[in-house]
Chain A
């Protein structure tokens, strides 16, 4: 197949991509550099919308706080979801007969919309009618019956842990596939040479999983930076209570659609641009580092 035929085949996809993704993206990038009166574009303002994000209320307080919550969400998800996910995948890998069925079961919650999940957990954790606190009180753990979503100290972690609960099947599937790609001969050889189970895992299997761990980490990073639906279902667009479940996407949503100021399109486009640069830059950097590391293993 020559170059021209190849081009012909990708043209439809490229055209769709151009019209529905590239064009809106470039235009909204350009919106960030203009003043706005409602939906009517005004003059070119340079970086004014960007400086507003760092100098004007409510951004001066909301932006750093939202970013910090996204970072905590990423760290929390990495530590809990991906560690448990790897453990579960490893345990499932050795149960050849029930593996597929169990993998499906673990993946079930993420077939449900995060909005529904958030709503259900809000009901479960309600301090007035919620079964969780009723149960805790019944078994004598009254001091544990906290206002889970009403206390800023616990609300963010509830959001993170429910997200972990929902998405646990995702690392299980990815790690499961990666473990399937590690030839059994390697671990068998290590066992013959006298390695224990733990040693074989740490020295042989784990290094071969680095590419998968890298992919999962990058995807987790993107996922955490974009978190929207679940926090929205838990705390609304303002990150209730008292902004303790606020995230960057919620701040963007508030700025773009809930704001009373007429230049909302400008500032929200600037915020979207920064968010894009953060996600793209972070993911790109991480991928570059991982690639170098992989070369070290395979090369």
Chain B
């Protein structure tokens, strides 16, 4: 028995260690991707399993207009997608048109030389530059993909609850604070925040504090190197979160974001700071709920000229695989994805805010968010500019905000640490 158990032990030691190593080995695979006469089949990969039916409908429209072309939409599990795509693009059985990540998440794919530059194929000069930036290679500034959707940080509120309690949508900071106090006095949690999930906190910060640090103007000065995150206005915007903590659920760092959403959709909380991507889930959780959105007015001391803003970013792009044997047809499909026709279908069928300018929305909430973005949009700075290296800005502020709520760090320390972390790799443009 001694002998056996010792042998098993050693075998397990070796096996376990080997697995740890094997886990990070990118594998390559081969397959044949020959063209087939007159008809062309284009494969599109995506991480949106939930949108399969909508995409099939959209591509049916494309197939109808382009006889001989079949588009095969193949979605994978979102959390596995990066690995699957890296493997597919490295081998020869990858997709013709892959959905790729935006901003920092795109750079690994670009650096691998897996994508075809599209500068000559599509003209996005009329589009929002912060959205197009998410589709470019950081290193060479070339366009490698066409943005699909725009997301925005949003403060959702329960219209009926506001009306029942005689509350108006606030337009000044004082009004916003008195809304919070009124709700708290009635035993309702004003702000449903789930601080256990660190990734949501930079979004919460953006919703509640963007107008305090100065939105788009601040981004410009950070990009040029004129300011950084130790700037008093940014520190104050982090402090805004600490000031508002009393309006969030008790023991907020123990509350998961799903709990926060449940508090909101079950009528126990009045407002939910999140993103436009939460809309579908909120509508499913409580179809009866009358949802509205508003922009948080600037907190006292905000830079002059700063107004309530909606922060946005590009979410997902479509690109052309450099190894595809059907590059011409693939490029044509991607060109179509930059047309208003495709953009309108994204809005109607996938129910996202399209990246194509001039699209109209039938959902009232989506319509308001898109209007806010167009009127007072600003970039979600930590995502659009500070995810090009490790540690990323969102990771640092997420963890820092948890420490702020736990009381182990103050706003100044959190901002300083965020700055130190990103400045290890960030280079201002000037």
A residues neighboring B (CB under 8 Å): 20-22, 24-25, 27-29, 31, 37-40, 56-58, 122, 125-129, 146-152, 177-178, 181, 211-212, 214-215, 218-219, 222, 226, 236, 238, 240-243, 249, 252, 255-257, 259-262, 264-265, 268-269, 272-273, 275-276, 279-280, 283-284, 287, 290-291, 294, 298
Contact = CB atoms under 8 A, between A and B. Distances in A.
B81 to A, nearest CB: 10
B6 A178 contact: no
15 contacts: A22-B18, A24-B27, A25-B22, A28-B24, A57-B424, A58-B395, A215-B6, A238-B198, A240-B196, A241-B254, A260-B389, A279-B13, A280-B14, A283-B9, A290-B6
Given A37-B111, A149-B254, A240 B10 contact: no
Contacts of A252: 20, 23-24
Contact of A25 (B5, B8, B25): B25
A125 to B, nearest CB: 8
B220 interface: no
Closest 7 CB pairs of A and B: A150-B254, A147-B254, A38-B112, A147-B251, A260-B104, A24-B25, A38-B111
B24 A215 contact: no
A152 B253 CA distance: 9
Nearest to A174: B5
B91 to A, nearest CB: 10
B112 A256 contact: no
B109 interface: yes
A259 B104 CA distance: 9
**Chain B: interface size category:** 35 or more
Contact of A236 (B23, B83, B86, B198): B198
A269 B25 CA distance: 8
Interface of B: 1-2, 5-6, 8-10, 12-27, 82-83, 86, 89-90, 104-105, 107-114, 195-199, 249-256, 259, 262-263, 387-392, 395, 398-399, 402-403, 406, 408, 420-421, 424-425
Contacts of A212: 5
Given A260-B104, A272-B21, A211 B198 contact: no
A28 to B, nearest CB: 4
Contacts of A56: 424
B24 A256 contact: yes
Nearest to A149: B254
A39 B108 contact: yes
Contact of B20 (A226, A243, A264): A226
Contacts of A214: 9
A241 B195 contact: yes
Contacts of A57: 391, 420-421, 424
Contacts of A21: 15, 18-19, 22
Contact of B402 (A242, A268, A273): A242
Given A28-B25, A219-B9, A260-B105, A279 B20 contact: yes
Contacts of B399: 238, 242-243
Contact of B390 (A22, A29, A261, A276): A261
Contacts of B197: 236, 240
Given A28-B22, A38-B111, A238-B399, A287 B16 contact: no
Nearest to B189: A128
A215 B17 contact: no
A38 B104 contact: no
A181 B398 CA distance: 53
A215 B390 contact: no
Given A236-B197, A238-B398, A40 B9 contact: no
A25 B21 contact: yes
B387 A260 contact: yes
